[in-house]
Amino acid sequence: MMDWTDRHCRYFHRVLSRHARLYTEMVATGALIHGDAGRHLDFDRSENPVALQLGGSEPAELAHCARLGERWGYSEINLNCGCPSERVQQGAFGACLMAEPATVADCVKAMRDAVSIDVTVKHRIGIDRRDDYAFVRDFVGAVRAAGCSTFIVHARSAWLSGLSPKENREVPPLRYETVRRLKGDFPDCTFVLNGGMNAAGPVLRELQQADGVMLGRAAYQSPWLLVELERALFGSEGAPGDVADVVATMSEYLDGAAASGVAVRSVVRPMLGLLHGQRGARAWRRLLSDPAFLQQYGRDSLRAAACASDAPRTCFHVQPAAF
C-alpha cells in the first residue's frame, strides 16, 4: 500500500472504524535513516492502534528504525516480506526475503531485542515455483524461532518476475487453506488472513477460522466496508451513523490540516471511494478529483461535494472559499 495509506488515509479509516488496527504504507529503512524521519513517522494519536510497516533486510538498520517507531508511539512494528515489486526487490527486501528465512529471523530478533512492542511479519505463501506447503511452513518456523508470533499471510504466491505488482494481486491463485494449515501447525501463533477480501460476508466467514483478516485496497476503494464490519463485529456504538457524519468529521480535520499547510487534495484523495455503490458516487469522485473544484471550495470541498453529488442524507451550507 505504498503511496496509499498515508496519515490522512489512516485518520479517515479510524473515523470509519474504532477497532480496526491500521498499518502505515511500507517505509524503507533508508528513508528513515537518511531522510526526514518525521515526515514518514508523524501521525495523529487518534489513529492508534497503528503499526509501522518497514521494508529492509539489514538487522541493525531495522532495529534502529523499530526504535524510532516505538519512540514515535506506534503499537507494532511489521516487517514486509510480501511486496513483489521490482523496485523493492532491488533493495533486497519484500517478498524476495522469503528465500532467506535465516535473514528474516535475524532481522526479527534484532527488532525484538530493540523494542518492547510487538514485532510481526507480513508474507506470501510462496515465491515463484517455490510454493509448496513445506516452503512456507519452514519459513514461518524459522521466523517463529526468532520470537515472532504474529504472521499476516497474503494467501497467494508472489511471482518475482513476469508479473506486475497488480498482476501479483490477481493472477496467482488464492489458497486460504494454506493459512488454515499454518494455524494448525503453529497453534501458539496468530495468523491474519490477507488477499481477496472485498465484502463483509467473506470477511466474517473467514474470521470464524482465522485470527484476523487484513484488508488492503478494498478498504481504500470501498471504505464504507469498514463501517459495515465495525457494526457487525462491535455494534453500532461509536460507528458513524451515515455519510453525513463522516463528511462532518473529516471536514473538521481538513480545516485543521489545510491551516497547517497540507494540500486539500492530500486529505480528500483517500475519500474518493466513500460513496462507492451509493447514490452520487460518480459525482462525488469527479468533483473531489477536480483541481479547479478543490481550489474553488478549499477547506469546504468535502461539504460542497456532498451537496453537489446528492450524497445520501447529506447537505451542508457552503460558499466558495478559495485560499
Catalytically active residues, by annotation: 83
Could you tell me where the DSSP H helices lie in 164-300?
165-168, 176-185, 200-206, 217-221, 224-234, 243-259, 264-268, 281-288, 291-297
Cis peptide before 59 (omega within 30 of 0): no
Which residue do the cell numbers 517463529 mark?
144
CB 38 within 8 A of CB 9: no
CB 171 within 8 A of CB 159: yes
Which DSSP category does 260 fall into?
T
Provide CB contacts within 8 A for 218, sequence distance 6+. Answer: 197, 198, 199, 225
Query: DSSP letter string over 305-319?
Result: HHHHTT-TT------
Strands 118-127, 76-81: pairing kind: parallel
Provide CB contacts within 8 A for 199, sequence distance 6+. Answer: 218, 225
CA proximity to 315, closest of 243, 256, 258, 249: 243
* CA distances, 250 to each of 246, 254, 280, 290 (Å): 6, 6, 18, 18
CB 105 within 8 A of CB 134: no
* CA distances, 311 to each of 229, 249, 274, 303, 319 (Å): 21, 15, 10, 10, 18
